[in-house]
Structure 1
Amino acid sequence: MTTESNADAPAELLDRARRDYKELTARGLKLDLTRGKPAPEQLDLSEGLLSLPGDRHHAPDGTDVRNYGGLRGLPELREIFSDVLQVPADRLLAAGNSSLELMHDCLVHAFLSVLPGAETRWADQERIAFLCPVPGYDRHFALTERFGIEMIPVPMDDSGPDMDVVERLVAEDPAVKGIWCVPKYSNPNGVVYGDETIARLARMTTAAPDFRIFWDNAYAAHHLTDEPVEIADLSAACAESGNPDRPFVFGSTSKITFAGAGVGFFGSSTANVDWLTANSSKRSIGPDKVNQLRHLLFLRDAEGLRIHMERQRSLLQPKFDTVQRILEAELGGTGLAEWTTPTGGYFVTLEVGEGCAKEVVRRAAEAGIVLTPAGATHPYGDDPRDATIRIAPSFPSLEELEKAMLGLTTCVRLVGYEKRHGN
């Protein structure tokens, strides 16, 4: 643990950081903090899925899950996730194993078919743009770039995207067709969208009649405290404001049960659900209903989901506590960094000095600690300040996490003091 204080001489601080880094590189570490994957112990909590559905072949509504059909998914499973995703079950689809593929499909279908409320396909328009709150989720940005959609960064504050900026951009530019939002425990900074932010998103005037809010509620049930955060109901707010088709709501069980073998969800207005179902029917005769029945039998109901997520929290919270403890012990009072203290989700955002993030990531890699690339939290991988680093504590063991965090803070001190006091 560092015992540095602001009273220490600059040369002494830098020399100490260099000695610590030399010792770090000599340890031969091989640690990974890159992605927010569930740890093996978290996956073990869902081991019971593997023995399900046994010899049961029919859902409670009589659906034979072994056969074709059922594009909207099992109604009983949709009921379990209706409240947490804030979409009535009759307007919620249970689909394949990933919400990301649903986002991908919505973009594809918007390019190739006319959205409700639109006059033309996106493919027939000269320019399409999306608003991208930053810092944000790198896979959202990768999807957007994949389709040649222009990305317009929007700053985030403590209650979500800067709505003055959002309202101005959507009102003046008909090419702005959407905005990416992770409304609860945002990736990566843990921000929870405030009620007024959600109300303004719902009622704002948009130049594009087919503007959509891609509402990726990925961490809707992923709490880290005794007081789970609740957010305002975007779908209801949009309907009340006369914009029922505006929200596209996404969620999944990827970080609830088995990542890659879960269930993805899409919810929206009746018109949007019918639009997606009709287009999806061209590529699939139905989702994996055997897996959906497996999840239904495993989780049972909304209370079963809550209990399961409490077990997840018991494994995750000590890791987030470890991150906070080490950041405070090693960097507190140095002026070299600030960091978030999320109340849910999967990430901690570390803000280092301007122009330092890439170098911190490089030095950490040299010491055997792999981090998400600096810039990944911004469109096109370009963080203008080169200051944001995303920390993903979930996958390593507590012992590995502690080593990785001590190593990371060593790199932050080295790069920060080199920047501040000269190389």
Structure 2
Amino acid sequence: MSLKEMTAEQLEELAAQTRRDYDKLKAKRLKLDLTRGKPSQKQVEISNELLALPGVDNHTDAAGNDLRNYGNLEGIREIRELWGKLMGIPAENLVAGDSSSLNIMFDLISFAWNFGTHRSKRPWSQEEKVKFICPVPGYDRHFAITELFGIEMVPVAMREDGPDMDAVRELVKDPAVKGMWLVPMFSNPTGVTISEKVARELAGMDAGSPDFRIIWDNAYAVHTLTEDFPTILPILDIANDEGHPHRFWVLSSTSKITFAGGGVAFFATSADGIKWYLKHAGIRGIGPNKLNQLAHYEFFGSAEGVRSIMRRHRALLAPKFEAVLRILEDRLGKYDFAAWTKPEGGYFISLDVMDGTANRVWELAKNAGIVLTPAGSAFPHGEDPNDRNIRLAPSLPPLKEIEVAMKGVATCALLAALEKLGY
């Protein structure tokens, strides 16, 4: 029965039972962590073969270049071609770098801030004000970068097919709006995938600033939880078709495919944008770890090789997501005060509890030994105006721990809702 339909007597009885359940939960003295979307140990072990690659006597690329030495800022051709086939991007428009795409995103904002883009009138730091559009709920590490540079972040709601385009079209009329964060596939944390219609609207809309950029962070492009791999939109082709070839800064990486912090990151944009990026990146460093790129190329072998690896990840991840969704439905569904996403890929589930209670749910869970990402983390500055959103990350703990943790989270959410109602 919905909480709204219960009588005062029924609510009092439910509150008493929920408090007893919570006391039992605390008595277990749990130490469980659902904070960040890290791969589990079993997932990381999928890539252990990489530790023996490329091999002692294997240090040249197909062109005969010695990969042990400096140079080749773009990254080796082989891995760029492989990743380009996977993402629908020509190798000429793709740079392969070190480690995490988050590092490249920081560089992009830093370069634009200090020097301007190749289409800027001046460095962003010399503008009177710089604003970024931030779809919410969104990725906290994106927001942390713009916050660090003092960029004003403007939230817009994330819909089922992408950001609220009426709001976006209005906001980009302002010349101070220089950019937008976006995770186009299985987005963090809602799992939303941008439709082609919305992608074309983003590519074709007029913007008040000639150097308006969309950071298209395709971090979860192949991280499916189903049998199917959704089509990856050829966003650079779409941008060309719609008349704004420089608009998108496309990012992806192998961080949650192979080894976190030990993989390959990729950046793609127009040919002129690549020249601009490499001009500044070439001052920052003299070339990436090309031996690691060769190792990844040999490990994957092809775009289909990447998908094969991701099927093994899915086999480990899907049961965990299924458990979270099952427990939320079993424990909270009948009370009709909470809502949650049912993603088909990615690493997160977005949980909306009763308005005004997310921080209380986080506190109750913490006191019971269950650590959640702080409420509001999926909003700029960590400020959720409705105090209702919690990001759940089921990937790291073993399945049994996830089941225990989620039953506890459900108890905390229900207790916080009953407290809010005065019981």
In the superposition, the TM-score normalised over structure 1's length comes to 0.97
CA contact (8 A) 1:6 1:333 kept: no
CA contact (8 A) 2:3 2:11 kept: no
Give 2:196's aligned amino acid: D
Tell me the SS of whatever aligns to 1:72.
Answer: coil
Report the equivalent of 2:166.
Answer: 164
Tell me the SS of whatever aligns to 1:346.
Answer: coil
Report the equivalent of 1:14.
Answer: 15
Q: What count of residue pairs does the alignment treat as equivalent?
A: 420
Which deviations, in whole Å up to 9, do the C-alpha atoms of 1:178-222 show, x marking residues without a partner?
Answer: 000000000000001011110100000000000000000000010
Report the equivalent of 2:389.
Answer: 388
Give matches, 1:11-410, under 5 Å.
Answer: 11-55=12-56, 56-171=58-173, 173-410=174-411
Q: How far 1:6 sits from its partner (Å)? A: 6.0
**How far apart, in 2, do the equivalents of 1:88 and 1:220 lie?**
17
**How far apart, in 1, do the equivalents of 2:414 and 2:116 lie?**
53
Give 1:408's aligned amino acid: V
Q: How far 1:260 sits from its partner (Å)? A: 0.9
Q: How far 1:307 sits from its partner (Å)? A: 0.5
Q: How far 1:231 sits from its partner (Å)? A: 4.4
Tell me the SS of whatever aligns to 1:383.
Answer: coil
Q: How far 1:4 sits from its partner (Å)? A: 10
My pick for the range that moved more, 227-236 or 47-56, is 227-236
Change (3 A) 1:311 1:5: farther
**How far apart, in 2, do the equivalents of 1:108 and 1:311 lie?**
37
CA contact (8 A) 1:69 1:286 kept: yes
Q: How far 1:60 sits from its partner (Å)? A: 1.9
Q: How far 1:5 sits from its partner (Å)? A: 11
Give 1:354's aligned amino acid: D
**How far apart, in 1, do the equivalents of 2:310 and 2:211 lie?**
36
Tell me the SS of whatever aligns to 2:39.
Answer: coil
The CA RMSD measured in Å over matched residues stands at 1.5
**How far apart, in 2, do the equivalents of 1:284 and 1:162 lie?**
39
Tell me the SS of whatever aligns to 2:350.
Answer: strand
Q: How far 1:113 sits from its partner (Å)? A: 1.7
Which deviations, in whole Å up to 9, do the C-alpha atoms of 1:213-270 show, x marking residues without a partner?
Answer: 0000000010011122224322111111211000000000000000111111000000
Give 2:144's aligned amino acid: A
Give 2:178's aligned amino acid: K
**How far apart, in 2, do the equivalents of 1:416 and 1:3 lie?**
12
Tell me the SS of whatever aligns to 1:227.
Answer: coil
My pick for the range that moved more, 124-133 or 109-118, is 109-118
Give 2:295's aligned amino acid: R
**How far apart, in 1, do the equivalents of 2:415 and 2:125 lie?**
49
Tell me the SS of whatever aligns to 1:306.
Answer: helix
**How far apart, in 1, do the equivalents of 2:248 and 2:191 lie?**
21
**How far apart, in 2, do the equivalents of 1:84 and 1:134 lie?**
28
Report the equivalent of 1:414.
Answer: 415
Tell me the SS of whatever aligns to 1:59.
Answer: coil
Q: How far 1:109 sits from its partner (Å)? A: 0.7
**How far apart, in 2, do the equivalents of 1:83 and 1:357 lie?**
42
Q: How far 1:7 sits from its partner (Å)? A: 5.8
Which deviations, in whole Å up to 9, do the C-alpha atoms of 1:34-93 show, x marking residues without a partner?
Answer: 000000000000000001111201122222110000100011101111133332111100
Which deviations, in whole Å up to 9, do the C-alpha atoms of 1:133-187 show, x marking residues without a partner?
Answer: 000000000001001110000111101100010001101x101000000000000
**How far apart, in 1, do the equivalents of 2:184 and 2:222 lie?**
12
Q: Percent identity?
A: 49
Give 1:245's aligned amino acid: H
**How far apart, in 2, do the equivalents of 1:288 and 1:407 lie?**
44
**How far apart, in 2, do the equivalents of 1:254 and 1:241 lie?**
31
Tell me the SS of whatever aligns to 1:148.
Answer: coil
**How far apart, in 1, do the equivalents of 2:6 and 2:360 lie?**
26
CA contact (8 A) 1:4 1:13 kept: no
CA contact (8 A) 2:180 2:215 kept: yes
Give 2:181's aligned amino acid: W
**How far apart, in 1, do the equivalents of 2:25 and 2:61 lie?**
55
Which deviations, in whole Å up to 9, do the C-alpha atoms of 1:252-309 show, x marking residues without a partner?
Answer: 0000000111111000000000100111000111001111111111111111111111
**How far apart, in 2, do the equivalents of 1:227 and 1:58 lie?**
36
Structure 2 unaligned regions, length at least 5: none
**How far apart, in 1, do the equivalents of 2:205 and 2:391 lie?**
31
CA contact (8 A) 1:175 1:208 kept: yes
CA contact (8 A) 1:116 1:245 kept: no
Give 1:291's aligned amino acid: N
Tell me the SS of whatever aligns to 1:350.
Answer: strand
**How far apart, in 1, do the equivalents of 2:19 and 2:105 lie?**
45
CA contact (8 A) 1:319 1:401 kept: yes
